[in-house]
Chain A
């Protein structure tokens, strides 16, 4: 049998899944729910503060390291889920899932370099 190339995407899936497990609930909470509940002051997300916080190279690196693997994690899991739900056109599903993830990766780079 042919050697599988799955390790390529699976490695990113596993890394992204681990990252998401550690940081995503807190990110969602602090950027959305926490503000509504009043735990996070609305000024915390104000433009001046956000741009200052995100302009440091360390913050950009961190944002990239969090966003990209989690995006690919989701893309890979959805590819598998499509098959589970009876969509067997794996080539097309792969193109859509990984295509969006690739575009998202480029968009993240563009955004971070443009800050």
Chain B
């Protein structure tokens, strides 16, 4: 028998466009670009805060400008997507067993959602009140 295996090419730059699940994966990964940029923006905010009222006020004006709000909105959507995808796979990475039985993944995810809600509420209250 003659062997001459044929290797099909893989699109180095475009493979992730070939299936919806790969696109969803890429959206999850790209969240890091926005999250990283937002964190850098927060660091700039802390630096400006340490430089006095005038520096801080101009920073605040930039953050609340239409461009700043648009960036905040996009990052917010990506951050929520990150949270949802992260908690969804937590039971896979850290399965729990109690009394010899696996804890249903839905309970682990639910517990994380609860913690997420509580943490979010505390942050909102800390900033607002």
Q: Give the B-binding residues of A (Cβ under 8 A).
A: 17-18, 20-36, 39-41, 44-45, 47, 50-51, 53-54, 63, 67, 70-71, 73-75, 77-78, 80-81, 84-86, 100, 104, 107-108, 110-112, 114-115
Number of interface residues of B (CB under 8 A): 50
CB atoms of A32 and B120 under 8 A apart: no
Kindly list chain A residues whose C-beta atoms are within 8 Å of the C-beta of B124.
26, 29-30, 34, 39-40
CB atoms of A24 and B30 under 8 A apart: no
CB atoms of B43 and A74 under 8 A apart: no
Kindly list chain B residues whose C-beta atoms are within 8 Å of the C-beta of A78.
32-33, 36
Q: Does B6 contact A (CB under 8 A)?
A: no
Given contacts A75-B32, A100-B36, A108-B46, 16 further A-B contacts (CB under 8 A): A21-B86, A23-B120, A24-B83, A25-B80, A27-B123, A30-B123, A30-B127, A40-B127, A47-B53, A70-B39, A75-B36, A81-B30, A81-B32, A84-B29, A111-B46, A114-B50
CB atoms of B79 and A71 under 8 A apart: no
Q: Chain B, 88-126, contact with A by CB distance < 8 Å: what is the 0/1 string?
A: 000000000000000000000000100110011101101
Given contacts A26-B120, A29-B76, contact A104 B43 (CB under 8 A): yes
Instruction: Give which listed residue, A22, A70, A107, A115, contacts B83 with CB less than 8 A.
Output: A22
In the assembled complex, the Cα of A24 lies from the Cα of B34 at a distance in Å of 11
CB atoms of B46 and A71 under 8 A apart: no
Kindly list chain B residues whose C-beta atoms are within 8 Å of the C-beta of A75.
32, 36
Q: Identify the closest chain B residue to A40 (Cβ).
A: B128
Kindly list chain A residues whose C-beta atoms are within 8 Å of the C-beta of B40.
71, 100, 104
30 pairs, A vs B, C-beta closer than 8 Å: A22-B83, A22-B116, A23-B119, A24-B35, A25-B79, A26-B124, A27-B42, A27-B123, A28-B38, A30-B127, A32-B68, A36-B64, A39-B124, A40-B124, A44-B127, A47-B57, A50-B49, A70-B35, A73-B32, A75-B36, A77-B29, A80-B29, A81-B26, A85-B16, A86-B13, A111-B46, A111-B47, A111-B50, A112-B50, A114-B47
